[in-house]
Chain A
Amino acid sequence: MLLKFAKRHVALLLALTGIGAASVAGAAEGEPLQRLKIMAPAAPGGGWDTTARQMQAALTQARIVRTVQVNNVPGAGGTIGLATLANNLKGDGNQLMVNGLVMVGAILTNKSAVTLSQVTPIARLTGEYEVVVVPAQSPIRSMQELAARLKSNPGGVSIAGGSAGGTDHILAGLVVRAAGADPAKTNYIAYSGGGEALAAIMGNHVTAGISGYGELIGPIKAGRLRALAISSDKRMPGIDIPTLKESGIDVGLANWRSVVAPPGLSTAQRQALLDAVDRMVKSPEWQATLAKNDWVDLYLPGAAFSTYLRAEESRVTDILKSIGLAK
Chain B
Amino acid sequence: MATLDALLHGFSIALTLHNLGWALLGVTLGTAVGVLPGIGPALTVSLLLPVTFGLEPTSAFIMFAGIYYGGMYGGSTASILLNTPGESASIITALEGNLMARGGRAGPALATAAIGSFVAGTLATVLLTFLAPLVANLGLRFGPADYFALMVLSFTTVSAVLGRSLAWGLASLLFGMALGLVGIDVQTGQERFTLGLPALLDGIDVIVVVIGLFAVGETLYVASCPGDPESVVPMRGSRWMSRRDWARSWKPWLRGTALGFPFGAMPAGGGEIPTFLSYAIEKRLAAKPDEFGKGAIEGVAGPEAANNAAAAGVLVPLLTLGLPTSATAAVMLAAFQQYGLQPGPLLFENSGDLVWGLIASLYIGNVMLLALNLPLVGLWVRLLSIPRPYLYGGILTFATLGTYTLNNSVADLVTLYLVGVVGFLMRRFDIPVAPAVIGLILGPMAEQQMRRALSISEGHFSIFVTEPIAATLLAVAALVLVAPPVWRRLHSGQVARAKSRQTP
Contact = CB atoms under 8 A, between A and B. Distances in A.
A150 B191 CA distance: 29
B455 A187 contact: yes
Interface stretch (A21-29, A120-128, A214-222): A214-222
B141 to A, nearest CB: 6
B42 A202 contact: no
Interface in A172-204: 187, 189-196, 198-200, 202-203
A75 B202 contact: yes
B28 A219 contact: no
B340 interface: yes
Contacts of A217: 342
B467 to A, nearest CB: 9
Given A45-B327, A195-B317, A195-B323, A158 B456 contact: yes
B186 A163 contact: yes
Contacts of B409: 73, 75, 80
A203 B140 contact: yes
A50 B337 contact: yes
B52 to A, nearest CB: 9
A232 B10 CA distance: 41
Interface string B198-224: 110110000000000000000000000
Nearest to B145: A205
Given A79-B201, A222-B345, A164 B322 contact: no
A168 interface: no
A163 B189 contact: yes
Contact of A49 (B46, B53, B323): B46
A256 B409 CA distance: 27
A46 to B, nearest CB: 8
A109 interface: yes
Contacts of B384: none
Contacts of B321: 198-199, 202, 219, 224
A76 B201 CA distance: 6
A156 to B, nearest CB: 7
A73 B407 contact: yes
A298 interface: no
Contacts of B322: 198, 218-219
Contacts, number: 173
Contact of A16 (B28, B54, B142, B339): B28
A214 B50 contact: no
A274 interface: no
Contacts of B161: none
B268 interface: yes
B133 to A, nearest CB: 11
A199 B323 contact: yes
A196 B189 contact: no
Interface string B170-211: 000000000000001111110100000011011000000000
Interface in A1-34: 1, 5, 8-9, 12, 16
A57 interface: yes
A91 interface: no
Contact of B458 (A9, A50, A71, A155): A155
Contacts of B199: 75, 80
Q: Which 8 A-B pairs have the closest CB atoms?
A: A199-B267, A44-B46, A205-B143, A76-B201, A164-B189, A218-B344, A203-B140, A45-B330
Interface of B: 25, 28-29, 32, 42-43, 46-47, 49-51, 53-55, 139-144, 184-189, 191, 198-199, 201-202, 267-268, 317, 321-325, 327, 329-331, 333-334, 337-340, 342-346, 407-409, 452, 455-456, 458
18 contacts: A5-B54, A16-B32, A45-B327, A54-B338, A110-B184, A111-B191, A158-B456, A163-B184, A164-B184, A187-B455, A189-B452, A194-B330, A195-B324, A198-B321, A203-B142, A214-B337, A224-B321, A293-B337
Given A158-B455, A189-B144, A221-B346, 8 more contacts: A16-B28, A44-B334, A45-B330, A79-B198, A195-B325, A199-B268, A205-B144, A218-B342
